[in-house]
Amino acid sequence: MYGDKTIIEGLNLRIPAGKIVVFVGPSGCGKTTTLKMINRLIEPTSGVILLNGQDVLKQDKVEVRRSIGYVIQQIGLFPHMTIAENIALVPRLSNRKAGIDIAKTDRMLRMVGLDPDTYRDRYPSELSGGQQQRIGVARALMSDPPIILMDEPFSALDPITREQLQDELIRLNEDVHKTIVFVTHDMDEALKIADEIVIMQAGKVVQQGSPEQILRHPANPFVREFLGEKRLTPHLSLVVDDVMLKQPVKIDPRKGLAEAIQVMQNRKVTGIIVTDKNDNYLGVVDTTDIYAKYSEESLSIGDVMRKNAVTVLSGSALLEAIPLVQQAPFGFVPVIDAQERLKGLLTRGSLVDVLAKPYLEEVKSE
């Protein structure tokens, strides 16, 4: 509470060890306050906070903070200290030693993807924002804490650097298996890095679960709105052109059957689209069609191709095309324009990234 105002109300949750748990929600929902209560930067007015079964509220708050890694958006590197000195700061304070464990410092640098010989003796001002954030993570890992708290650490970075550090965090925790409590307001970031997501609203937890569970079963209208309909049902807003292969394997109808087999072997496909020199769509042919007539050397692809294969018009809604792809005997459907020119190829593989599963399961159940 701040004065007579309750900020966090009835918070009751368990954070699994060794996982990345992401708190997400709109500004002012209590994410950062919850994070700061874990290491007692903010003291709760009631309740208990257990770390490995021990109530941190009954422990010395300085020792609690030294035993928990903490990474923030502003990083907080000391400008007058070298990178090695910054990383080794907490162990030096805890053990009251002036010296630096160079071997361990170098190991932390390598762990976050930085070459020790290049960065060990530099100063923070000589590093980019992304490199400084890596140093912040290395410093948090240096004392080998069971828990690392991260308060919007990547939000001030450019999109490319941010994505790189998100990938690095996922990779890193596969190696070190720390319990990472991560705060963000970015739902895309939460869905990418989290093993579990905790969605907060007005100081309360409204849903906790894996990204898959939350995407499939949003708890209430607030969660649905916060996720956004495009994340829940992405195929509804897409057209076939968004996911089709734009350079499918093609063949001229005058080519021989042996030539077609060679093309298939080289391109590792079992079917080819047949077009003329102007890219006008003519038909499809697969290995079954070719081998059925392979002994007749006088035949060309135009003689054995299928002219009645199902096609889909460019610009069509992906939702309408999904069942056509699933039912196609070749596992693909050509995409053509109004003039019947080939525009691309819609395959079962090209549908994977659009989360068509909810729709497909609905179709199967009918």
* pLDDT band of 313, cuts 50, 70, 90: very high
Q: Where are the beta strands (DSSP E) in the chain?
A: 20-24, 50-51, 54-55, 68-72, 147-151, 179-184, 196-201, 204-209, 250-251, 271-275, 281-286, 312-313, 332-336, 342-347
Interval 54-62 mean pLDDT = 87
Per-residue pLDDT at 356 exceeds 50: no
Q: Is 228 left (phi over 0), alpha (psi -120 to 50) or beta?
A: left
Instruction: Identify the pLDDT of residue 361.
Output: 45
d(CA 141, CA 263): 53
3-state percent helix, strand, coil for the chain, nearest multiple of 5: 45, 20, 35
* pLDDT band of 202, cuts 50, 70, 90: confident
d(CA 152, CA 133): 11
Residue pair 197/191 in contact by the 8 Å Cβ criterion: yes
Interval 324-328 mean pLDDT = 85
User: Which domains, ranges and CATH numbers included, belong to the chain?
Assistant: 20-234 (3.40.50.300), 240-365 (3.10.580.10)
Residue pair 285/272 in contact by the 8 Å Cβ criterion: yes
pLDDT tens for residues 237-268?
678 888 888 889 999 999 999 999 999 888 88
Interval 199-212 mean pLDDT = 90
* pLDDT band of 358, cuts 50, 70, 90: very low
Per-residue pLDDT at 318 exceeds 70: yes
pLDDT tens for residues 63-94?
888 888 888 877 778 889 999 988 888 777 66
pTM recorded for the entire structure: 0.63
Q: Across all residues in the chain, what is the average pLDDT? A: 85
* pLDDT band of 354, cuts 50, 70, 90: low
Calculate what percentage of the chain has a pLDDT beyond 90: 30
Instruction: Identify the pLDDT of residue 2.
Output: 55
d(CA 38, CA 30): 13
